[in-house]
Structure formats: structure tokens, C-alpha cells
């Protein structure tokens, strides 16, 4: 598993890559039992298919959360 600095660096690379892809609603870092992974929330399963499973040795976990909108 990745340590926090490794996860932060991988997150920046992943965010830059995902800027071109529709359907990504969030990119973050999540704690795992042995370190950290990247967490990507997407609006559709099609968007999930475009997210890599690994970035620079850091695991990427993807969750389909649907469309995200602001509430008043």
C-alpha cells in the first residue's frame, strides 16, 4: 500500500488525467488498512470504465454515485 505522500502525488497525476473525462464527480484519498488509496466517484458506469485501477503503484477505487448536484 501507498504512504500519504505517494498517494498525494498520484492523486495530482490522476486528476490531471481525468480532467478530459466526463462523469467524474470527485477525486480523493482514502485510508486503507495498510496505507492509502485513491478514491474516484463517478456519475455512470461508463465513466468508471475510463478510470485506471492503479496510478504510480497506488490503488484506485471507483464508485458510481450518480449525478451530484448542489442543494439550496
The CATH number of whichever domain residue 46 belongs to comes to 3.30.300
Dump pLDDT digits (tens) for 10-53: 999 999 999 888 899 999 999 999 899 999 999 999 999 999 99
41 domain-assigned: yes
Displacement of CA 5 from its chain's centroid (Å) = 16
Give the residue numbers spanning the domain of 43. Answer: 4-64
| Separation CA 70–CA 16 (nearest Å) | 24
* Nearest C-alpha neighbor of 14 from the set 48, 46, 60: 60
What is the pLDDT at residue 62? 95
Instruction: Write down the pLDDT at residue 54.
Output: 95
Numbers of helices and strands, H then E, in the chain: 2, 4
> Looking at residue 15, what is its pLDDT?
94
Say how far apart CA 37 and CA 29 lie, in whole Å: 6
Total domains in the chain come to: 1
Residue 70 lies in a domain: no
Q: How many CA atoms lie within 13 A of 2 on its CB side?
A: 21
Per-residue pLDDT, 31: 96
Amino acid at each position: 500500500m501507498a504512504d500519504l505522500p505517494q498517494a498525494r502525488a498520484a492523486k495530482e497525476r490522476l486528476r490531471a488525467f481525468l480532467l478530459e473525462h466526463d462523469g467524474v464527480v470527485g477525486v480523493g484519498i482514502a485510508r486503507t488498512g495498510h496505507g492509502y488509496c485513491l478514491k474516484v466517484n463517478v456519475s455512470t458506469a461508463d465513466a468508471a470504465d475510463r478510470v485506471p485501477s492503479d496510478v504510480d503503484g497506488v490503488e484506485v477505487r471507483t464508485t458510481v454515485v450518480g449525478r451530484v448536484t448542489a442543494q439550496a
